[in-house]
Amino acid sequence: MPKPLRIQLALWSALLVVLLAGCSPTSAGAGGQGSKPKVLTTFTVLADIARNVGGQYVAVESLTKVGAEIHGYEPTPGDVRRAADAALILDNGLNLESWFAQFVERVEVPHVVVSDGVEVMDIASDAYAGKPNPHAWMSPLNVKIYVDNIVAAFSQLDPDHAEAFAANGRAYQAQLQTVHDKLLAELSALPEAKRALVTCEGAFSYLARDAGLTERYIWPVNAEQQATPQQIAAVIDDVRTAQVPAVFCESTVSDKPMRQVVAATGAAFGGVLYVDSLSEADGPVPTYLDLLRYDTDLIIKGLTGGEQ
Ligand SMILES: [Zn+2]
């Protein structure tokens, strides 16, 4: 197809989108940046992964901000406005975003579930037993599948740049494999007796599976009812029995319950792990690959008593 015709068609479809969206004056169709489709993700980790695939051709934004609690998030009217002119929304699926089904109905923007095709782990305990554990991105091997889904979604959105998306995807998948190999080698070097990962939320099941760690947590998924006395007592028992040297908590929740475990057991507080959110750009984990490296380092340092 000759270029001017293609551009004309693109302009016409942009105009159509504006009309369908109720002539929103903030539509992506107007202005210099207008030619890039706007893609929203439900949280910051997905935004970073999507940017690695989209490169210069897609404008990716996260709906939730850095540090937000993403499971029980309540979308604001501003979120609805921001989503109105988005071409696509990427969500994790697996019940991660309990707010999402309603939200996406309100904004009527197409969405793609990026976890489609991963081997899902079920939650083992509490009221969530038997439900999928949503934190599939904590295995870089799963994120290679996320990348395939994002490449397919972007190629449909902007077929002219399908080759670039595929090339970006392959390059990023190679980086994911490198990080996976490295963290597996590092974590599997831990002595058998020290391979216990104790955290606030059960967010590390996929990483623990990859790396041969046993996983314990106070509550399975962030929710309103967190850290009952029974849940805390159970973890205290486990930490004592297995003589776990250090315990951890995630960045998006209060570490108070885990401090109780520390006080009761004498285990060290190993620090704050990142799962459901990246940090700000000047923080320790501005990207998803940083998140994986940072968490692995912290876990090894905690479990080996900082002898690294
Ligand atoms: Zn979570």
What are the tens digits of pLDDT across the range 251-266? Answer: 999 999 999 999 999 9
Neighbours of 182 (CB within 10 A): 14
Cα 70 to ligand 1 centre (Å): 7
pLDDT at 109 over 90: yes
Fold agreement between 3-122+139-166 and 181-303 = yes
Cα 71 to ligand 1 centre (Å): 6
Cα 162 to ligand 1 centre (Å): 32
For 38, the 3-state DSSP assignment is strand
Q: Can you tell me the distance from the alpha carbon of 242 to that of 270, in angstroms, rounded to the nearest whole number?
A: 16
Cα 41 to ligand 1 centre (Å): 16
Banded model confidence at residue 108, pLDDT cuts 50, 70, 90: confident
> What CATH code would you report for 3-122+139-166?
3.40.50.1980
Is-contact 41 90, C-beta < 8 A? yes
| pLDDT tens per residue, range 20-55 | 443 333 334 333 455 899 999 999 999 999 999 999
Cα 3 to ligand 1 centre (Å): 45
| pLDDT tens per residue, range 63-81 | 999 999 999 999 999 999 9
Cα 204 to ligand 1 centre (Å): 9
In single-letter form, the type of residue at position 276 comes to: D
- Fold classification of 181-303 is Rossmann fold (3.40.50)
Cα 43 to ligand 1 centre (Å): 11
The per-residue pLDDT for 27 is: 38
Domain boundaries, the chain: 3-122+139-166, 181-303
Cα 278 to ligand 1 centre (Å): 12
Q: Can you tell me the distance from the alpha carbon of 227 to that of 144, in angstroms, rounded to the nearest whole number?
A: 33
Question: Closest by alpha carbon to 218, among 252, 247, 192, 246?
Answer: 247
Is-contact 235 265, C-beta < 8 A? no
Question: Closest by alpha carbon to 259, among 214, 216, 227, 283?
Answer: 227
Cα 134 to ligand 1 centre (Å): 7
